[in-house]
Each structure stands twice: as C-alpha cells, then as structure tokens.
Homo-oligomer: A and B are copies of this chain.
Amino acid sequence: MAAAPRSRCDEPLVALAFLIACLWLCCAAVVADGTPWFWGGGGDPYCLTWRVMVEANNAKAWRTVPPQCVAYVAAYMAWGQYYRDVGAAAGLAAAYAAQIDMNADADDAWVLDVDDTCLSNQPYYQARQFGPYDPAAFKAWASRGACPGIPAVQWLFQTLKRRGFRVFLVTGRDEETLGPSTAANLLATGFSGYDRLIMRGSASRGASSVAFKSAVRKQLVADGYRIRGNVGDQWSDLQGDCVGDRAFKLPNPMYFVP
C-alpha cells in the first residue's frame, strides 16, 4: 500500500496533538506526584492539608508519611518549597534576633537542634522513601558524617554568632557512638564557633526527646544563660521546660520524633 499523501493540514494537527499530550502529561504529573516541577510545592490538596496539620502540631504521633503522600513529600523536599519554608523561618528568627536588646553579661543564648535543623537527612530518608525509623540504618548514615548543611540555617547560625549570641547545639544523637562523626559533620558544613554541642549521654539514654531537651535547657538556665530563641524541626524540640523566649518550627514532613 502506498502512503497517504501528506497535506499541509497535518502541521497544525501535529502541533495540536503535541499540546494535548503536554496538557495530559502535566495533569498526570499533578495527579501522580502532587507537585509538578513548575509549581514549587502546593500540589495535591490532601497531602498539603496533611503537611499543614504536621506543621501546626495537630497531627501528633504520626508514624510515617501517608503512602499516597510519599511522592508529594519527595517533591516538596527536593523541588524548592522546603527550602523556601526553611528560609522564611530562618528569616523570621534572624529578624527577631536583630531586635533583641543584648545583655552586657553575654549570657544571651540560642538553642539549635541538629538533625534537619543544622544538618539535612533528606538524602537518607529520600532513599528509603520516607519509610519507618530504622535505628541501625540511621546510625550507619549519621556515622558517615556526610549530612549536607541546610543553607538557611548555616546563614542563621552565622548571623546569631555575629550578633554575639552564645549558640548551643542540642541533639538526641548518642554521644558515645555518634559524637566524633557529628562534630566533624558540623565542622565540615560551616557550623564552627558554637558554645557547646550537647548530645545524649548514658544518663539520658531512653528518656523522651522532650524530657532530655528540657533537662538540657534547664541546666543552661541554671548556668545563667537566657535562652532567647530556640530552633528545631520537631515540636518536641520546642515544648517542655525553659523553651526560650521564642520558638521557631522548621518544616519537617519526613518523620516525627515524640
């Protein structure tokens, strides 16, 4: 059979088919992924609601990302909106810090969490599709000391130091097993010049995060520091005793620490 003769009408038809395919792909990306690349993180209404419930601390004690939101969270973390949100929180923290009337005794302090506050575990959780917490696997990841620094918090850290605050990094990571790798990871990502890195020792092993961090902050206050600000990605960083004059909740839809 001979091919049908090609008329000049075909060109717009091909363009039309191409446009329809583009529209279809775009819609499919929205339905499947929650967040097309050009959007920046709004995306799937259900998963957006879930994320806001997490950030407002309504969705307490959730175990893992809902299965239908795994791709949404991956897109949120990787495609810009997460960095926009961290940047906004860091900006608000810096603006607040800038208007604090500093004490001449240099006892004005800030408390910063480490995991997903200073250092990002996004590569680890992304590779595991935000699956449930696996202590051995996480220890293996953290002991590599290869967590990327989170740019907006690196900037906030330097801003706080320049302003004269004493900065304490407080983390639930185990001091004995992860002490050297955590300190090296922090140094390599520009977190140097902090007052102290306070990790979980044998005495506080098994305590909840709220109990451990409350005890640390209480001790800081007993030592004469005034906790002006407190930054963490978990509500358990920001609740309990001596939480500080003001708390800043960084976004984290990847996991929940009770």
Contacts and interface: CB of A to CB of B under 8 A. Distances in A.
Given A42-B43, A55-B55, A58-B89, A12 B16 contact: yes
Nearest to A35: B42
A116 to B, nearest CB: 14
A84 B19 contact: no
A244 B120 CA distance: 34
B56 A56 contact: yes
A16 B11 CA distance: 11
A149 B128 CA distance: 43
5 contacts: A12-B12, A15-B16, A19-B19, A45-B80, A55-B56
Interface in A241-256: 246-249, 251
Contacts of A39: 42, 45
A88 interface: yes
Nearest to A231: B58
Interface in A124-155: none
B56 A45 contact: no
A58 B249 contact: yes
A172 interface: no
Given A13-B12, A42-B41, A52 B49 contact: no
Interface in A4-53: 8-9, 12-13, 15-16, 19-20, 23, 35, 39-46, 48-53
B59 A92 contact: yes
B41 A249 contact: no
Contact of A53 (B19, B46, B51, B89): B89
B49 A42 contact: no
A178 to B, nearest CB: 28
A251 B52 contact: yes
A44 B246 CA distance: 28
A248 B58 contact: yes
Given A49-B88, A56-B89, A56-B249, 4 more contacts: A9-B9, A49-B84, A55-B56, A58-B88
A195 interface: no
A81 to B, nearest CB: 6
A39 B49 CA distance: 13
A20 B237 CA distance: 50
A55 B50 CA distance: 13
